[in-house]
Amino acid sequence: MSKVHVIDHPLVQHKLTIIRNKETGPKEFRELVNEIALLLAYEVTRDLPLEEVEVETPICKTKGYTVAGKKLGLVPILRAGLGMVDGILQLIPTAKVGHIGLYRDPETLQPVEYYCKLPSDSHERDLIAIDPMLATGGSAVAAISFLKKYGCASVKLMCLLAAPEGIKAMQEAHSDVDIYTAAIDEKLDSRAYIVPGLGDAGDRLFGTK
């Protein structure tokens, strides 16, 4: 069974509370989403393997460590996942970025795919799928199924808020994919919005409502 990591660092919780506030406008919302994403990326990458290297300081030679193992890839789910990419790239500037375009049909709540462009070596990378909202889980489940169809075997999911329903759906569909989130909220409402949530993440990021 995959693990759910709740990143309850005080700075994450502080910033999350500001973006939940309906009075927070797109500029501040965008900045904070990127800042939270950077802090989450610190935890998502905690288990990266290291290799020992020799380094010469101005004083003497010594032992140091560099990140080893597979290279990383970020896969934001459009559109709201885009809001987290720059923050993560500040921490992992060499990661390649693929994009999966999905939207949730407001009537059926089923994910509808409209775009996919992945780095050609995605299957050789450790991938982080990125979407701020894990609500029913339909979008994240579909995006990760898509990545697996392309041969990508190492995937983690990073989000800002997760509903219990979304976590259950992800664990049933992809029991090998760990979930990293800043909070687990209470439930979904009748339109499958996360409660208490933060509203429509894409609209708040891009000012489309």
Residues involved in catalysis: 104, 108, 200, 203
Nearer to ligand PRP, 95 or 133 (CB): 133
Report the C-alpha gap between 163 and 169 in whole angstroms: 10
Structure tokens at 158: 């990073």
Report the C-alpha gap between 63 and 60 in whole angstroms: 10
Site string for ligand URA, 127-146 (x = CB under 6 A): ------x-x-----------
Report the C-alpha gap between 46 and 26 in whole angstroms: 30
Report the C-alpha gap between 145 and 185 in whole angstroms: 24
Q: Which of 31, 113, 178, 200 binds ligand URA (CB under 6 A)?
A: 200
Stretch that binds ligand URA, among 44-52, 120-128, 149-157, 200-208 (CB under 6 A): 200-208
Nearest C-alpha neighbor of 20 from the set 203, 209, 201: 201
Nearer to ligand PRP, 19 or 201 (CB): 201
Neighbours of 70 (CB within 10 A): 13
Binding site for ligand URA (CB under 6 A): 80, 133, 135, 193-194, 197, 200-202
Binding site for ligand PRP (CB under 6 A): 77-80, 103-104, 111, 131-140, 166, 192, 200-202
